[in-house]
Structure 1
Amino acid sequence: MPSPSVTWTAFAGQRLLASGPPAEVITAAKGALDAGEHESLLLFDDATGRTVDFHLRGTLEEVLARLQPTPDPAAESSEPRGPGRPKLGVVAREVTLLPRHWEWLSEQPGGASVALRKLVEAARANSGDADRVRRAQAAADRFMTTMAGNAPGYEEAARALYAGDRTRFNKWTRSWPDDIRDCARRLAAPAFTKEAP
């Protein structure tokens, strides 16, 4: 099941159906579908602005059951694991560095992997605000492209979003349908580091 901090938003055409935890949003979308909603239903993950492909067929209980994670057969195995490191979710990928970088890494306590993990964690801690702004810009832009890509002022609003200009963003989104405008502004809010009216 998605984490409790995850929020989704559902639209029927240009009308907001619900926004909140996935189970609540799915319940609202399923109710609208069962009531004969004729507008297209779209579900969005608020953190990414991407549409969520979720099947609403079946009873509400069946639909909500699809939110449950699929069990990992390897994790449920009762057989003891063999020798070696425990499964920590580590993913091996190729890293290309210059010889002097490899030399420095090999001199670090714990070796290259430990040093790289520490460097990544330090960079993540130092770039938290910039990452938050980038994620909000990307999420708002994806949502806007899907829901307001043909709306007047879309391109200007997108430019204002990436320029961090809340005043211009609000100006160019003002004429959009209320629910779309409000959702775009909500998703974009963390992208604006300076307060504006």
Structure 2
Amino acid sequence: MERSVTAFRAGRRVAAGGMAEVAKALAGQDPALVIDDATGRVVDLDLSGGAAAIAARYAPTPRGPGRPKLGVVAREVTLLPRHWDWLNAQPGGASATLRRLVEAARRSPDARARVAQERTYHALQALAGDLPGYEEALRALFAGDTDRFAACVAAWPEDLRTYALALATGDGDD
């Protein structure tokens, strides 16, 4: 699945969508700050070359061997022998059990809130650090006070405010 990004210039959203789509939209224009919607981190897009070069650079990469539809990636996991024994005794084996445990943890309300807070923090650090109410907005964000957060960002440019509220509330999360 292609990463979704949003580009801002002077507090206004100028492009949003997949990396290839946003890169093509930004080519030949003034610089913009591009944010990864999933992490809130700044993304540096290479806009050199023409539209064909940009499209080729950001085209989805083919998946490798294994379970391509799932995007399974093999990595090393180090556990104690008793942990391996328990995992191997579970239905489906160790890998299936670890996937189920990770998915359950990812879906917990605490984990989802923490991800939304971190994502919003990173995006606001890049986009809104010099705006009035920035620090109070962060305090409200990490306190989990969505009403106060919304009040703190109310005076910000509309596109930036809308984006910050969407990140903080998890709108669009899977």
**Which TM bucket (shorter chain)?**
0.7 to 0.9
Q: How many residues matched?
A: 166
Cα distance in 2, alignment partners of residues 140 and 132 from structure 1: 12
**What is the TM-score with the length of structure 2 in the denominator?**
0.76
Equivalent residue for 2:143? 163
Give the AA of the match of 1:93. Answer: E
Equivalent residue for 1:179? 159
- Match among 77, 100, 103 for residue 124 of structure 1: 103
- SS of the equivalent of 1:11 reads strand
Equivalent residue for 1:61? 52
Equivalent residue for 2:117? 137
- SS of the equivalent of 1:48 reads coil
Q: CA RMSD in A?
A: 2.9
Equivalent residue for 2:26? 29
Calculate percent identity across the aligned residue pairs: 40
Q: CA deviation at 1:161?
A: 1.4
Give the AA of the match of 2:7. Answer: A
Instruction: State whether residues 120 and 168 of structure 2, in contact with CA within 8 Å, keep that contact through their aligned partners in structure 1.
Output: yes
1:154 and 2:134 correspond: yes
Change (3 A) 1:69 1:103: closer
**1:5-25, Cα deviation, whole Å (9 max, x unpaired):** x42111123222112233332
Cα distance in 2, alignment partners of residues 150 and 56 from structure 1: 27
Instruction: Report the structure number with the largest CA radius of gyration.
Output: 1
Change (3 A) 1:68 1:166: same
Q: Which runs of 5+ in 1 are unaligned?
A: 76-85, 192-197
Instruction: State whether residues 5 and 17 of structure 2, in contact with CA within 8 Å, keep that contact through their aligned partners in structure 1.
Output: yes
- SS of the equivalent of 2:125 reads helix
**What is the TM-score with the length of structure 1 in the denominator?**
0.69
Q: How do 1:79-118 residues align onto structure 2 when only pairs under 5 Å count?
A: 87=66, 89-97=72-80, 100-105=82-87, 108=89, 114-115=93-94, 117-118=96-97
Q: Which runs of 5+ in 2 are unaligned?
A: none
1:41 and 2:20 correspond: no
Change (3 A) 1:150 1:119: same
